[in-house]
């Protein structure tokens, strides 16, 4: 989020001062921030999915164990 805000500020500064380099640098920083945010979101989704799978496997193993004993 910080990169997105700083990038937007750089972009606006570049537009106000007619500095294309600064404007582009700001857009790049914004994009980098969005990519980082999305990658954190995906990493969290993967972690959640892996946790769900482990929990399901544990429940399945308990059921199998109960079936054998019962």
- E strands, the chain, where? none
Q: Domain of 54?
A: 2-69
Q: What is the pLDDT of residues 20-46, one digit of tens each?
A: 999 999 999 999 999 999 999 999 999
Q: pLDDT band at 70, cuts 50/70/90?
A: low
Output the pLDDT for position 62: 81
Q: What is the pLDDT of residues 41-63, one digit of tens each?
A: 999 999 999 999 999 998 888 88
Q: What CA–CA distance (Å, rounded) separates 63 from 4?
A: 49
Q: Provide the number of structural domains found in the chain.
A: 1
DSSP-based three-state secondary structure for 44 = helix
């Amino acid at each position: 989020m910080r990169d997105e805000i700083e990038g937007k500020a750089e972009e606006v500064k570049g537009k106000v001062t007619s500095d294309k380099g600064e404007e582009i640098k700001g857009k790049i920083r914004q994009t980098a921030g969005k990519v980082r945010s999305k990658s954190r979101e995906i990493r969290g989704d993967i972690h959640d999915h892996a946790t769900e799978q482990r929990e399901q496997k544990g429940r399945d193993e308990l059921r199998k164990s109960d079936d054998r004993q019962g």
